[in-house]
């Protein structure tokens, strides 16, 4: 299960894009961007330890899906849960994290990849500490973030990234 966060904030829409910024809030990380008008049906926030690569169609791990409010306006930020995420490309499906999680927040998907339920995760970090390939991470300022718009056909289009 990928983390799904529905963020509803009232903002004034404007045009133009600015780099995404990460800050640590009391309930988890906060990623912010300049407000913008769009026809996207939703936005997807992804993170990776590598810079965005347009040639990599599956770049980054999905941290949040953001939907517009009742007026069709997207928020200009999202608060991420205080939870860890799994880099599916690095996960070797050994299940060590599953056996070590004190809350049962980690399961294996049909492909054997670890999945963390952000509602059950207490961000203790045990899973990250025992992972032999560093596939488990908490959102932080050292990562690269990308904001993608989801079209009516379901395709993701890169909008903006951190550090640009």
pLDDT of residue 5: 29
Domain parsing of the chain, residue ranges: 21-80+139-161, 85-137
Average predicted confidence (pLDDT) for the chain: 86
Task: Specify the pLDDT at position 7.
Answer: 28
Name the fold adopted by 85-137.
Alpha-Beta Plaits (3.30.70)
**E-assigned strands of the chain?**
21-25, 28-32, 42-48, 61-66, 77-79, 85-86, 106-108, 114-116, 136-137, 144-150, 156-161
**Rounded to two decimals, what is the model's pTM?**
0.80
21-80+139-161 CATH fold = Immunoglobulin-like (2.60.40)
């Amino acid at each position: 299960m990928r983390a799904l966060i529905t963020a509803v904030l009232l903002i004034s829409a404007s045009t133009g894009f600015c780099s995404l910024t990460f800050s640590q809030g009391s309930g988890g990380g906060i990623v912010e961007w300049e407000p913008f008008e769009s026809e996207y049906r939703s936005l997807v926030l992804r993170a990776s330890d590598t810079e965005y690569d347009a040639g990599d169609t599956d770049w980054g791990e999905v941290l949040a899906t953001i939907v517009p409010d009742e007026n069709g306006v997207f928020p200009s930020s999202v608060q991420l849960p205080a939870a860890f995420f799994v880099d599916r490309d690095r996960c070797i499906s050994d299940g060590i994290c599953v056996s070590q999680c004190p809350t049962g927040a980690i399961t294996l998907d049909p492909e054997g990849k670890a999945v963390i339920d952000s509602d059950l995760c207490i961000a203790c970090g045990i899973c990250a500490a025992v992972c032999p390939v560093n596939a488990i991470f908490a959102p932080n300022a050292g990562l690269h973030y990308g904001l993608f718009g989801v079209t009516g056909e379901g395709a993701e289009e890169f909008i903006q990234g951190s550090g640009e």
